[in-house]
Amino acid sequence: MKLALASLAAIAVVAPAFAEGNIELGAGYSHFDADGANLGALTARGTYFFTPHVGVEGEASIGIDDDQVGAATVELDNSVAAFGVAQMPVAERVDVFARAGYASNDYNVKVPGVGSASGSDDGFAYGVGGKVFLNEKFGLRADLTRYEGDDTDADVISVGGVMKF
């Protein structure tokens, strides 16, 4: 449900902005180190810039790599987040950025013979990253973000592609 609401919100923000050329869309792989569980996810992002340096970003991830922690299997079901973004160019096609916002992560833990439990962990998220554009429209992006949830913290490293519109 959260993923559907986040998607609708992103579409509402993104649709009018395509005409102005202030949009970046991206996708990639994210590695979640969630209190010792190493989890992988496919991540999609949309960023709208109000000015060349300030914008908002929506992010949604779906877990694809689980981890064994003792006898338990830990998996990330999904993650959604919204951020305020500030960016600064450091070269002709290179930008660095910082972001801060709110994230919600849904985890599932299965223990053979005992059962499974799932839960949501919400909280403040912040990070830094960079983008290198290979041409006027397409580039590579990497970032490190800290998710500070109610019960579980996660350090997330993401790499992927980004396209300007």
- Average pLDDT for runs of 10 along the chain of length 165: 50 50 93 95 98 97 96 96 98 97 96 92 97 97 96 95 96
pLDDT at 21: 56
Q: How far apart are CA 147 and CA 156, in angstroms?
A: 8
Structure tokens at 7: 């998607």
DSSP type of residue 165:
-
SS3 117: strand
Give dist(CA 100, CA 108) in Å, integer: 26
In this structure, is the dihedral angle defined by the CA atoms of residues 93, 42, 24 and 47, taken in order, positive or negative?
A: negative
Residue 64 near residue 79 (C-beta atoms within 8 A): no
User: How many Å apart are CA 85 and CA 20, to the nearest integer?
Assistant: 18
Which class does domain 2-164 fall in? mainly beta
Distance CA 76, CA 90 (A): 35
Give me the half-sphere count of Cα atoms (radius 13 Å) on the Cβ side of residue 114: 8
